[in-house]
Chains A and B, each alone.
Chain A
């Protein structure tokens, strides 16, 4: 056997275990799910019906749009709030900002189930907010349970710390002298934000946004515990098809739809990460 061939076999041999693992636990389930999604449950033949169901039934279409609405709102709010928090942590040097800097990641360490139940005890119509209002003679009912506002609020709890973590790292990489030299040539604070800080941190913002987007499209715990009967988040739709109606073909179609929605965001992520900007060459 030639030396070259031996080296080649060794190289493939080393890659093979991980390649097989990926095939077995990632590629295989996806491919079978795709196949199932195109299968007619009665005849076992090929069909588009499983997909048609989700796009032609008004109720299911509403679920998809509802999910996209919740997710876009979550991304927009979480990124804006996280950016403000990150700006504060990066540029305000005080005891309070240091304290917040140490505390803001705490929600990441609380199990999601615990966090959702904790939030429910606060925002439900007989919860803490209601009790406090009763102390002052009122009867405030937030109406956030089984409502989009509750879902979005809960998503903030999970996603602001996460997005802020990523954006803070990006802002930390901007040297002070770059900002000071912009001030020096006459830029106001707002102008520095617009012309220096925003463009220099945009990549981290986009990446944080794609992560928040992906993790929320298929979210389950929060909509399961706080969401209403209708419209439903896609995670619940999938769960119902699989567990309640035992429609495995539709469940497969739904998971592929969720996968496709996520892959748009994954594409943005990969594009942002790989795109070598002219100024980074």
Chain B
């Protein structure tokens, strides 16, 4: 990413709410054409950061720059950002076309140009032919597509998405995720995405910022964060992880890195449950008070029965 130009920079930014909550000393650089996801549980401050970028919250301290220019003093309507909210994005008293045209009209763009732009963007989000519909006549997923199109129409420098898919059902969510990734690749736009869904973050992002209690726990690519979690919190938040206490240290091992063998290995136990999850099988092994989760292939699982004594070998571990 280093060869790419810097798009958005957050410099030592602090936002404190009246009740003392907030985020402190946030530093982040986001490069042109990147999808960066803020990931964390609700209340961790991820939306706060997004809203300070969008201009919906004032910062207490620090600076935010886009293309090396400070935007921290600008109101939302003057910022080169566009935001898609979790829900109620569209104006219910306007048709899809009017929703899309509103921002362009404010910019005094000629009518023909507006029509052409809207046609193009409706095609981009696969919503051609819906111009005359009102938002309440659309499904949640369709509304979010229009909301994304509306934001993209304004050619923002940075697109901000605040849990845009969390109100949608699982299947639509996956589909929207894939489409967003495609659109982003086509346009090369810089995206800051906020979610509490680690799977969504892994699937979409070039880089993930894992947040906890107003602080960054780790910043890295999905692979880096999955393979080398920096803290125990990141290890537990991203993907599945077993934690085993050994010699006063916590050993973390992913279920796919636990091998079931008959030879003496790291830890002993008895098979507790066997669950087929499609092409792989989850085997839970009771080791004293602890239940260790292992992912094994179908062939091996067929030789196992609940109650069988087994040895577990940790192929790859993280020590915290």
Contact = CB atoms under 8 A, between A and B. Distances in A.
Interface of A: 175, 177-178, 180-188, 191, 195-196, 199-200, 277-281
B76 A196 contact: no
Nearest to B88: A175
A230 B24 CA distance: 70
A185 B98 CA distance: 13
A184 B134 contact: no
Given A186-B77, A186-B154, A200-B92, A180 B83 contact: yes
Nearest to A198: B93
B107 A180 contact: no
Given A184-B77, A185-B103, A279-B135, 11 more contacts: A178-B91, A180-B56, A180-B83, A180-B85, A181-B89, A181-B150, A182-B102, A184-B76, A184-B82, A184-B151, A185-B154
B81 to A, nearest CB: 7
Interface of B: 54-56, 75-77, 81-83, 85-95, 102-103, 106-107, 134-137, 147, 150-151, 154
A279 B150 CA distance: 19
A205 to B, nearest CB: 14
Nearest to B87: A177
Contacts of A188: 77
5 contacts: A175-B88, A178-B91, A181-B89, A182-B102, A200-B93
Among A177, A187, A277, max chain B CB count under 10 A is at A177
A280 B136 contact: yes
Contacts of A277: 93
A186 B106 contact: yes
A187 B78 CA distance: 9
A186 B103 CA distance: 6
B81 A279 contact: no
Contacts of A180: 54, 56, 76, 83, 85
Contacts of B150: 181, 185
Given A195-B102, A279-B134, A182 B91 contact: yes
A187 B106 contact: yes
A119 B69 CA distance: 58
A175 B92 CA distance: 11
Given A279-B136, A281-B137, A196 B106 contact: no
Contacts, number: 77
A182 B75 CA distance: 12
B93 A184 contact: no
Contact of A181 (B55, B85, B106): B85
A177 B88 contact: yes
Contacts of B82: 184-185
Given A178-B88, A199-B93, A200-B93, A187 B75 contact: no
A178 B83 CA distance: 11
Nearest to A202: B93
A281 B87 CA distance: 19
Contacts of B54: 180, 184
Contacts of A196: 91
Nearest to A278: B134
B183 to A, nearest CB: 18
Nearest to A199: B93
B89 A177 contact: yes
A175 B91 CA distance: 10
Nearest to A196: B91
A188 B78 CA distance: 9
Contacts of B137: 281
Contacts of A191: 106
B83 A186 contact: no
A191 B107 CA distance: 13
Contacts of B154: 185-186
A185 B106 contact: yes
Among B55, B81, B92, B94, max chain A CB count under 10 A is at B92
A178 B154 CA distance: 17
B81 A184 contact: yes
Nearest to A195: B102
A72 to B, nearest CB: 27
A277 B137 CA distance: 13
Contact of B92 (A182, A195, A279): A279
Nearest to A277: B93
Nearest 7 pairs of A and B residues by beta carbon? A185-B103, A175-B88, A177-B85, A279-B134, A183-B76, A186-B77, A186-B106
Nearest to B86: A177
Given A186-B77, A187-B106, A279-B134, A181 B92 contact: no
Among A175, A180, A195, A200, max chain B CB count under 10 A is at A180
A191 B102 CA distance: 11
A105 B92 CA distance: 30
Contacts of B87: 175, 177
Nearest to B150: A185
Among A195, A199, A200, max chain B CB count under 10 A is at A195
A92 B37 CA distance: 32
Among A177, A184, A186, A277, max chain B CB count under 10 A is at A184
Contacts of B136: 279-281
A199 B93 CA distance: 7
A185 B306 CA distance: 59
A281 B83 contact: no
A186 B91 contact: no
Nearest to A185: B103
A279 B81 CA distance: 29
A65 B81 CA distance: 56
